[in-house]
Amino acid sequence: MGLKWLKKIRQVNKQIPIIILSAHTEQEYLWRAVELKITRYLTKPYDKNTLIKALEDVALELVDHQPVISIMPECLYDYCRKTITLHQNTLHLSKSESRLLEYFLKRPNQTITYEQLFEYMWEFEQPSKEALKSIVKELRKKIHSDFIKNLYGVGYVCEIQL
């Protein structure tokens, strides 16, 4: 049953990372899974550390194997740890701050409307614009930069050269 679902996923998206946890150890089953471009195949019972390593590999795959990127001189963002390193000082970002920063980093120099941010950050809730502004303010404070520019009445633009 698992390989049927894998085939359906591959028909829609050939790049999504997939980890299979299975009791199957037959070589033919394994080869069929490999042909479908799986990321990892773990047999049950699996070791917790092996699963964590597989998840880390998938995370790296999702961010194009660049877990740490330079936002600006002497300012690095670590996708895996959700930290900013600024002048060799490491600062932890909140879940909201990291989600917002990653959204901006995927869309450098693009106008991002308030509506886009509300939809991304709070799928079903609709908090006030002040809640969003507060997250932006905290993020700016931690990064000591104004690379996130306000676009009056529209939203923001992240002015950055990646």
Q: Which CATH class is domain 68-158?
A: mainly alpha
- 111: β partners: 157
Give the CA distances from residue 86 to residues 16, 47, 155, in Å, rounded to whole numbers and listed in that order. 32, 36, 26
Alpha carbon distance, N-terminus to C-terminus of the chain: 42
Q: How far apart are CA 116 and CA 84, in angstroms?
A: 24
Name the residue among 94, 64, 70, 69 with its Cα closest to residue 82: 94
* Nearest-angstrom CA–CA distance, 43 and 27: 12
**pLDDT for 12-42, tens place per residue?**
877 778 888 888 788 887 788 788 788 788 8
Q: Decide whether 2-62 matches 68-158 in CATH topology.
A: no
| CB < 8 Å & 24+ apart, contacts of 135-138 | 135/94, 135/96, 135/97, 135/100, 136/100, 138/94, 138/97
**Assigned token pair, 111:** 């106008």
pLDDT of residue 133: 92
What's the topology of domain 2-62? Rossmann fold (3.40.50)
pLDDT for residue 63:
64
Predicted confidence at residue 157, as pLDDT, reads 94
Let me know: does 84 contact 142? Beta carbons within 8 Å.
yes
pLDDT at 65: 57
| Tokens matching residue 39 | 């990321």
Whether the model clears a pTM of 0.85, i.e. scores above it, the answer is no
Task: Quick: pLDDT tens for 88-145.
Answer: 899 999 999 999 999 999 888 999 999 999 888 887 777 888 999 999 999 999 987 7
Look up residue 139 and give its amino acid.
L
